[in-house]
Amino acid sequence: MADFAKRPEVTVSTMGKVHNPKGEGVRVTSSPADAGASANANPNPAHPKSHGSRPGPHRHHHQHTTDEHETKVTEEGSSRRNITRKKSDPTSGGFENSRKKQGGSGKGKWDPLDGADTGDLPPTDENDPLYDDEDAGGAGYVLTSVNDGGGDHPPKAATSYDVAGTGAKKAVYGPMLTLAEFKIRATECVREYYDSGDADEVVRCIDEMRCRGYHPEVVKRAVGLGLDRGPRERELTSRLLTCLHPTPLGDDDVEAGFTLLLDSLDELVVDVPDARAMVGSFLARAVVDEVLAPAYLSARNDDHPGDEVVERAVGLLSREHCNARLEHVWGPGDGRPVAELKGVMDQLLEEYLLSRELDEAARCVREMDAPHFHHELVKRGAKIAMEKDGLDHHHSKADNGNSADADVADGGGSVDAMAALFSFLVKNAIVSEYQVSKGISRLMKLMPDLKLDVPAAPAMLDEFEGMCREGGCLPSPPPPQPPAAAETQAEA
């Protein structure tokens, strides 16, 4: 029979007596925690001769109490194992999320109140790429130009900055503005110059910007804006380049500026079809004003043979009396004095009476770009026409039946031709009706002096005014009022 069959049956009543039938030394426990505490208890120090759990005939066991193994808490919150939780403590004011420990038992978490960042930091190395002068107690940087040299070469006025009195320890070399910012400011300066005509203000603005490396953009911007404007603005641009050279724009800056302009002509031609011809005039005018060296045109022609712009500039410079002609290269509308403008008008009217070409005369009037001065054109035109017809003019309805060709062949019909010219100009919106009316009224005030040279001037002026009215140059006169209405108006 097997050995396990001889073993007694284990029941609830015999449980615990299989290995210890007598049950000696086993204390009744109420919980597994008490049982574990009693099993691992040290021998009682009152019995020094006790051998603990060693087997032997003389083993003395101390009866342990439950209070011996309770957790001892001297002060709440100071023990590693605090039985009274702060969350459930009624005196702690409830649970606070800010006092909750994060992952890792709060390790690596910065506390702004622990004073760790108030200690003395190690000195910063000035050679460190991350070194900041402001953090080290400095006053910042002062921007200067690359040409701000030292030693025997003093800095130039247009490229250096006054570092004295700023408290800065070192200077940062480079322009004060970016290229985009410089272009915007330069454009504003040139546009303001077109309104005021003060070139000294433009020079001062360029000096204050302290961007010597961007000076070629001034030439390109000024000429580019002049292409979109009239003859007056182009003349002002040529004068501005003369004022800017040699300070603050040097020879290299002017040449580099025209190079940038010539390289961007393909884009300018889209907006200004005559850009190539006008840029050639700018080049020739700059050479005459001694702003641009003639060698620049030769070098440009060698690098870009057959350049239309350079060839036009060379052609303008090769003409006879080129200096005098290029001073008025932008035509009569370049803002010249009134006396010169009157001379241009006289020349225009004389050529028209010889050629009788309306289109050419209209082009010349448009090039003058003086709409506020057209009344002078009307006055001088009527006066020249009456002087040409002279004393042989006899106004009669019978003579008006003759053909215009006969009048032209005999040298007459100057008043008729002048009236036709102003009618053509008014119909093409080149001259306004108000300017024609004002010119005739001014001529009437000069009639006493004009009668000394042309006795028939009053009759000729009446004829000229009637033809202008028929041609649409003058508004129709108001209809005559009835006598009763006139008397009522006079009594009022």
Q: Under the phi-then-psi rule, with left for phi > 0, alpha for psi from -120 to 50, and beta for the rest, what region is 388?
A: alpha
Cα angle: 483, vertex 485, 489; to 5 degrees: 115
d(CA 61, CA 24): 10
Structure tokens at 258: 């025209």
Residues 58 and 68 sit within 8 Å (Cβ to Cβ) = no
The DSSP result for 371-426, as a single string, is GGGHHHHHHHHHHHHHHHHGGG----TTGGGS-HHHHHHTT--HHHHHHHHHHHHH
Among candidate residues 163, 136, 158, the one with its CA nearest the CA of residue 146? 158
d(CA 145, CA 383): 63
Q: How many CA atoms lie within 13 A of 206 on its CB side?
A: 30
d(CA 170, CA 164): 11
Q: Return the H-helix or E-strand segment holding 443.
A: helix 433-445
Whether the bond between 246 and the residue before it is cis, its omega within 30 degrees of 0, is yes
Cα angle: 431, vertex 231, 292; to 5 degrees: 170
Structure tokens at 123: 């000195």
Residues 363 and 332 sit within 8 Å (Cβ to Cβ) = no
Where are the extended beta strands (E) located within 73-189?
A: 142-144, 171-173
Among candidate residues 476, 486, 444, 475, the one with its CA nearest the CA of residue 461? 444
pTM of the model: 0.54
What pLDDT shows up at residue 409? 37
Beta bridge partners of 172: 143
d(CA 268, CA 184): 18
pLDDT tens-place values along the chain, 492 residues long:
555 555 566 565 655 555 555 656 555 555 555 555 555 555 454 444 444 445 555 555 556 565 655 655 555 555 455 455 555 555 555 555 555 555 555 566 666 666 656 555 555 677 777 766 665 555 555 555 555 444 454 444 444 444 444 444 555 566 788 999 999 999 999 999 999 999 999 999 999 998 999 999 999 999 999 999 988 899 999 999 999 999 999 999 999 999 999 999 999 999 999 999 999 999 999 999 999 999 999 999 888 888 899 999 999 999 999 998 898 888 877 777 888 889 989 999 999 999 999 999 999 999 888 888 999 999 999 999 999 887 555 444 445 544 444 443 344 589 999 999 999 999 999 999 999 999 999 999 999 998 888 888 999 999 999 999 998 888 766 555 555 554 555 555
What pLDDT shows up at residue 413? 84
Quote the distance between the C-alpha of residue 473 and its chain's center.
47
Residues in the chain: 492
d(CA 185, CA 64): 97
